[in-house]
């Protein structure tokens, strides 16, 4: 279990990450197939959908992680703080639309920000089950959410760095 100030720092990082995504919205249509098959907007939509879904699942889940078996992949992700590119495919429910609308993305950022704001008040034993990583308690889930978001922000940064799209 993380100390309260560490958990608050992770939540603060999530807010900063959302701010960076919001700043990328003007270039949502930017693409670079050498970096990713998804546009900046699709990266944002996927990440926000995942954050929102994990937030809801974490609020609803209670003690699902009790009695769990250790998951080496979860431990590796949490210890390294990174997710390797191209290793895991997003579940179909988290696939972005072909051409995300900037206004809808802005609304999704606001909704996600509101959902994240509640997570710090959840009990430490609150948990949810990730489709690959298995069950996670609140603090692990928050850490994973930040790692997953940073993974997609790195992709967004690479697309923006190499893309000629300025619209």
Task: List, for residues 101-135, the tens digit of each pLDDT value.
Answer: 999 999 999 999 999 999 989 998 898 888 888 88
For position 39, which CATH number holds?
A: 1.20.120.450
- Pick the more confident residue, 18 or 5: 18
- Structural domain includes residue 167: no
Task: Please give the pLDDT value at position 166.
Answer: 46
Q: Which residue has the tokens 């979860």?
A: 74
Residue range(s) defining the domain that contains residue 130: 4-85+96-162
Residue 109: name the closest of 55, 42, 60, 44 by CA: 44
Task: List, for residues 13-67, the tens digit of each pLDDT value.
Answer: 999 999 999 999 999 999 999 999 999 999 999 999 999 999 999 998 765 555 6
Task: List, for residues 150-161, the tens digit of each pLDDT value.
Answer: 999 999 999 999
Distances (CA, A) of 56 to 9, 35, 61, 124: 20, 30, 9, 15
Q: What is the value of pTM for the model shown?
A: 0.90
Domains held by the chain: number: 1
Check whether 84 has a pLDDT greater than 70.
yes
Distances (CA, A) of 160 to 14, 33, 61, 114: 20, 12, 37, 27
- Structural domain includes residue 90: no
Task: List, for residues 90-108, the tens digit of each pLDDT value.
Answer: 888 899 999 999 999 999 9
Task: Please give the pLDDT value at position 13.
Answer: 97
Residue 69 in tokens: 């078996």
Task: Please give the pLDDT value at position 32.
Answer: 96
Task: Please give the pLDDT value at position 110.
Answer: 97
Residue 73: name the closest of 154, 8, 11, 130 by CA: 130
């Amino acid at each position: 279990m993380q100390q309260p100030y560490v958990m608050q720092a992770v939540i603060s990082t999530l807010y900063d990450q959302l701010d960076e995504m919001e700043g990328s919205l003007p270039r949502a249509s930017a693409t670079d197939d050498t970096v990713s098959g998804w546009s900046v907007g699709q990266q944002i939509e996927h990440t926000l959908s995942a954050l929102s879904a994990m937030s809801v699942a974490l609020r609803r889940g209670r003690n699902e992680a009790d009695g769990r078996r250790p998951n080496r992949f979860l431990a590796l992700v949490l210890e390294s703080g990174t997710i390797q590119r191209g290793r895991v495919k997003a579940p179909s429910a988290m696939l972005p639309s072909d051409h995300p609308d900037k206004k809808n993305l802005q609304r999704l950022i606001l909704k996600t920000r509101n959902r994240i704001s509640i997570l710090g008040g959840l009990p430490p034993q609150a948990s949810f089950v990730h489709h690959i990583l298995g069950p996670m308690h609140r603090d692990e889930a928050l850490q994973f959410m930040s790692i997953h978001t940073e993974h997609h922000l790195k992709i967004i940064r690479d697309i923006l760095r190499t893309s000629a799209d300025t619209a």
